[in-house]
Amino acid sequence: MAAENLLLRIYDVLRSAFGHRGWWPADTPFEVMMGAVLTQNTNWANVEKAVGNLTQAGLLSATGLSEAGEDEIQRLIRPAGYYRQKTARLRRLAGLVLEVCGPDDASLEGLRALPLEDLHEKLTSLKGIGHETAASILLYALAKPVFVVDAYTVRVMARHQLIEPGISYADLQAYFEDRLPTDVELFKDFHAQLVEVGKRYCKSRRPLCSSCPLHPLLGDPIEPDEYL
DNA sequence: TGCCAGGCCGGGT
DNA sequence: ACCCGGCATGGC
């Protein structure tokens, strides 16, 4: 079932190669939200340690993060790096959850009921929540149809000359959202597929391997030097 | 052993 | 409107 749309053909190829990715790996939407902060410029394995520490300490909740001591949270999330900044960011997010959802609403239903524009504004107005973290929370924690763009997205698309390397976040996000059906499950898995192909075949400043599953569809990629 | 990882902020140009 | 240094740990 070859799609007529280039992005959908790319998705089909990746999906066939890697299978459904099952993103975002977490037990609750609240955990997704906190993971979105912890994973900022950080290896996922380190994030898992931090999440595990918070869970074991019984602090992975809006009240837990709000009421625990600053230094205790810092100690627990230290493996995820930037632990001083991230502690403040987690607590700001926890404050928003408490305010909108009330205590211990790990489902975030109260937030999800708000209009998308309001949510985007509330999230990005928090210090430490930028465009990408906000998009990740909106899509993976709140099931809103927002396409998540990250460094891998830019790398994979730029190396195949499908976009300009210097494209802005908003423009690249619009590029996907304008060309794809508005489908939350598609957005979730497509972003995960782009991360997967990026991790395997499109590491920063290394040539793209010709065994990349996108090679037959998109042809020879350009070298990293040509856009880095 | 340096480089990199599922970024963001604040200050400078 | 961009560009840059700083933030921090752990794995390859």
Residue A45 sits in a domain of what CATH number? 1.10.340.30
Q: Same domain for A172 and A76? A: no
Which positions on chain C have an atom < 7 Å from some protein CB? 2-3, 7-11
Report CA-CA distances (Å) from A164 to A67, A95, A124, A132, A153.
46, 38, 25, 19, 12
Asked if the structure places residue A1 within a domain, the reply is no
Q: Note the pLDDT tens digit of each residue in A134-143.
A: 999 999 999 9
Sign, Cα dihedral of A202, A203, A205, A208: negative
Cβ–Cβ under 8 Å, residues A22 and A190: no
Residues of chain A falling short of pLDDT 70? 1-2, 204-205, 225-228
- pTM of the predicted structure, to 2 decimals: 0.96
The answer to whether A128 CB is within 7 Å of strand B is yes
Q: Which of A80, A68, A103, A101 is nearest to A34 (CA)?
A: A80
Could you list the residue range(s) of the whole structural domain that residue A84 is in?
29-141
Q: Note the pLDDT tens digit of each residue in A24-54.
A: 999 999 999 999 999 999 999 999 999 999 9
Q: Which of A39, A66, A63 is nearest to A51 (CA)?
A: A39
- Residue A223: the pLDDT is 75
In chain A, what are the helix, strand and coil shares in percent, each to the nearest 5? 60, 0, 40
User: Closest nucleotide to A42's CA, by C1' atom?
Assistant: B5
Q: Same domain for A49 and A125? A: yes
Question: What is the rounded distance in angstroms from the CA atom of residue A11 to the CA atom of residue A8?
Answer: 5
The answer to whether A29 CB is within 7 Å of strand C is no
As a dihedral over the C-alpha atoms of residue A117, residue A123, residue A124, residue A130, rounded to 10 degrees, the angle is: -120
Asked if the structure places residue A35 within a domain, the reply is yes
The answer to whether A39 CB is within 7 Å of strand B is yes
